[in-house]
Amino acid sequence: MKKIILIIQLIVFSVSIISAQYYKSKTEEKTDTIFRLGGKVLLVNVVQINQSEVDYMFKGDPKVYSIERKQVQKVVYTTGKVEEFNKPVFIEIDETSWEAVLITENKEEVDGLYKRGEISAKSSPGTRNKKSAKNSVMIRLQKKAANLKGAMVLITHKESRGGYGEIPGYFMKGDVYGFEPLEEEKEEDDLY
């Protein structure tokens, strides 16, 4: 008798679980996914796609919204179909390359980093204006910092040269900071 009651309870329990899952799958509305170029994801129902835009609605909102196609990377539909519009535009920079070195004048931004050395640079003599002179000196600082395996340069001194009618020039001096201490500092820490 106890076995029969136990079997009936198991059957009732199983039927209730199955019906709950069936009800949940029927009440949950599946959505399409819009992946924007900036990385933002929209869970929506795509209404229409035309030459210039994608029209969509949010669940529970009767208003139709639009986004330009040039801002959409791809749309993944509930059916699994994927429609690509644009490729993401980004360049992955190796952390050891000079382009990854940041230049700052804010001392707080280098807190917690290890000082790797001091560097200075002046702009190339062929610059035509003050802006290109400043860009030239910043690139030179980044390259020198990368050679020291630095991640950031804290500017300690900057000077603009040349006036009206003269060749513009720029000079900067700074401290290079990295994420790890220099090898000799590591060895000293290991001794203690």
Domains and their CATH numbers in the chain: 29-90 (2.30.30), 98-191 (3.30.110.70)
* Span 22-39, average pLDDT: 67
| Residue 141, H or E segment | helix 130-147
**β-bridge partners, 34:** 42, 75
CA nearest to 109, candidates 65, 155, 148 = 155
> What 8-state DSSP symbol labels residue 137?
H
Burial environment of residue 13 by CB neighbours within 10 A (0 to 12, 13 to 18, 19 or more): exposed
| 124-182 pLDDT, tens digit each | 887 778 888 888 898 999 999 888 888 889 999 998 887 677 778 889 999 999 877 77
Q: Quote the pLDDT of residue 42.
A: 85
Which one, of 86, 132, 10, 57, lies nearest residue 2 by Cα? Answer: 10
Of 115, 183, 101, 114, which Cα lies nearest the Cα of 145? 101
Q: What is the pTM of this model?
A: 0.47
pLDDT tens string 40-96: 788 899 999 998 899 999 888 899 999 888 888 889 998 888 998 887 655 445 556
